[in-house]
Structure 1
Amino acid sequence: MTNIMHILGFQQGGWGAALLAASSVTLALSVLGFILGAALGATAAAGRLSPRRVPAWLAHVYGTVFRGVPDLLTIYLLYYGGSIALTQIGTLFGSDGFVGLPTFATGVLAIGIISGAYQGEVYRGAYQAVDRGQFEACKALGLSRYQSLRLVIVPQLMRHALPGLGNVWQLVLKDSALISVIGLVELMRQAQIGAGSTREPFIFYITAAALYFVIAVVTASVFRFSEARAWRGMVHA
């Protein structure tokens, strides 16, 4: 027990501060990726619901590809493909050597693209779950399309979307660990570094699992609170 407290402590030689810092990187990466995914997902949902063939087809392809391709492969393609492109651009301006993409930015982009494919389906299903009478009421009141969406449709859409978004968030949190493969020192990568340095893999991986669990429980409670507040005073079947 003394050895564990020393390894995970905050004194000189302890790994507690490093693990907490890595946890904050994991949380920031997940939150920013989820927000980017929300924007991409909303766009994809609008495309899927569009009566026009091209936007509907593009949104369908986006969702199918990034839900079907392994997440790890998407991360590799974005990082190495983007780095190769940057290297070629750098060569044109006289730069020598490999130019790598920033790992944190790449992680946010990868998680955003992947989660956007799932969030798009959540938003599309939530939009279709809104009672059709609400749309007719908006027309009867003479509301513009923008006013209808902002004041009536989107608030009701989010009530239906929150449970699905909570599930997507859990996927995002787990996918954040995959970003360690391109060198970002987030929680999983820090646990690997600590395990290799101290030769105590069990201590570090159990600690990492506990920290992931804490983040998951706290953030899941936020989604549950938001869902309860959204349905407050309403009959929820």
Structure 2
Amino acid sequence: MEIDFGNIKVVGFDADDTLWVNETYFRETEELFADLLEEYETKNKVDQELFKMEMKNLDIYGYGIKGFMLSMIESALDLSNNKIPQETISKILDLGKRMISHPVELLDGVEEVLSKLADKYRLIVLTKGDLLDQERKLEKSGLSKYFHHVEVLSDKKESNYSNLLEHLNIDVNEFLMIGNSLKSDVLPILNIGAKAVHVPFHTTWVHEMVSKEEEQVNNHLKLNSLKDILKYLDN
């Protein structure tokens, strides 16, 4: 399907797994967490219960590493019938702190894309997660200079996008969103009448997965690499 980007003036970028690596570190931490609880449950059971706990706590803690840490601790207490040693709780906290302090690893071509688009378009960041952590990652990434605005949203639903675009005085017909998640970065954007580009990341959180029918939505552009967007916008 041919999509016309000629009227685009503002380009929004997701952050985690669009600009830099994120989900990989969660999966690695889940593996280490399961190892800590191996005397209580199988890895598969630990993974399942941790995900259930994350979903249960999502409305309380929101997205991000801190909520993930608290869900790991609560899961450990549940799975051990509150017998988990204090030492193991400390190790779980250390896992979370290690995630927070992890160096920011930019994805291939990110800075090249931003540097080439910044002169022609108004660039903004629209991401979910913990405000402090996302601000830290953006600062460490060295990418702040390319963006006119950064917004950390509690969620990425149609209303979140519509309210923000209205607040920033952005015409929905002039807005393009680029991200790795169909659920958060593409489908809501298409539903409010804006354009979207999907750049899949090799690892997807279960919570961000969509149905087979939703995967077939074809009124958006799907790219293998963020650098490929330059074929459509940098001309």
Q: TM (normalized to structure 1)? A: 0.30
* Structure (1 or 2) with the greater helix fraction: 1
* Structure (1 or 2) with the greater strand fraction: 2
